[in-house]
Amino acid sequence: MQQPAVPELAQSHAQTRPIHWLATATALAGVVALSSVVQPDAATAAQPEGRSSETTQTVEAPSTEGVAFPIDCGPVAALVAKKAAGDLDGDGRPETVAVVHCDAAMSTPPDGVYVLTQGAGDVRPRVVATLVAPKDRNTVKEFAIRDGAVLATLLGYSSSDVPTCCPDVTDHAKWQWKDGTFVRSEPAAARSV
């Protein structure tokens, strides 16, 4: 084992003196004092009234995948052309509104507009309302959910003699949830295209 070149210097660093303890105590007291003065801001997150943290989790809107829409397409499949999501009935859970038509190769197939919901215990989403039935021969041009209402611009026909390629009537519709059902607002006067 090799001896240090300056043995006195090695021993002087190994011994603690009262001044070392005093410096350590002073530094520790300063940290404790400073931590009592510097405090983090108070928590500002607040839960909405009447809701606990368990009920404020994000709930996804129902999917349109695998839903059996009430539309008869014969040998072709039903196609979801448009969809939007929003809380329409004010229960804190979003609904999905889907514009669906038959995947026809020719002509303009009529659209159906359906409201889907999915409760916490439901395995699959289900259709709870039909806003536009395919038998009405409407095509949805514009479609949105705003402020809890479903808005749509519908293209239709003035008579059964008008070919399905060429709708000649435009109607603006708005549906809102009232007293347990979707109520359509009085439509503006239908106008020709």
DSSP 37: H
Could you tell me if 94 and 59 are in contact, meaning their C-beta atoms sit under 8 angstroms apart?
yes
Dist CA 172 CA 190 (whole Å):
8
Q: Which of 154, 157, 174 is nearest to 166 (CA)?
A: 157
Could you tell me if 88 and 145 are in contact, meaning their C-beta atoms sit under 8 angstroms apart?
yes
82-134 tens-digit pLDDT: 999 999 999 889 999 999 999 988 778 899 999 999 877 778 899 999 999 99
Task: Tell me the mean pLDDT in the region 17-37.
Answer: 65
Q: Is the pLDDT of residue 191 over 50?
A: no
Contacts 24+ apart (CB under 8 A), 167-170: 167/108, 167/139, 167/193, 168/192, 168/193, 169/193, 170/141
Dist CA 133 CA 135 (whole Å):
5
Q: What's the pLDDT band for 59 if we cut at 50, 70, 90?
A: confident
Q: Mean pLDDT of all residues in the chain?
A: 79
Q: Between these two residues, 20 and 80, which has the higher pLDDT value?
A: 80
Please tell me the predicted confidence (pLDDT) of residue 28: 63
**Amino acid type, 80:** V
Q: Is the pLDDT of residue 33 over 70?
A: no
Please tell me the predicted confidence (pLDDT) of residue 177: 94
Could you tell me if 125 and 64 are in contact, meaning their C-beta atoms sit under 8 angstroms apart?
yes
Please tell me the predicted confidence (pLDDT) of residue 36: 57
Please tell me the predicted confidence (pLDDT) of residue 30: 63
Q: Which two tokens stand for residue 146?
A: 């705003």
Could you tell me if 79 and 100 are in contact, meaning their C-beta atoms sit under 8 angstroms apart?
yes
Q: Between these two residues, 75 and 193, which has the higher pLDDT value?
A: 75
> Which residues does residue 170 pair with via DSSP β-bridges, in sequence order?
155, 191
Could you tell me if 176 and 188 are in contact, meaning their C-beta atoms sit under 8 angstroms apart?
no
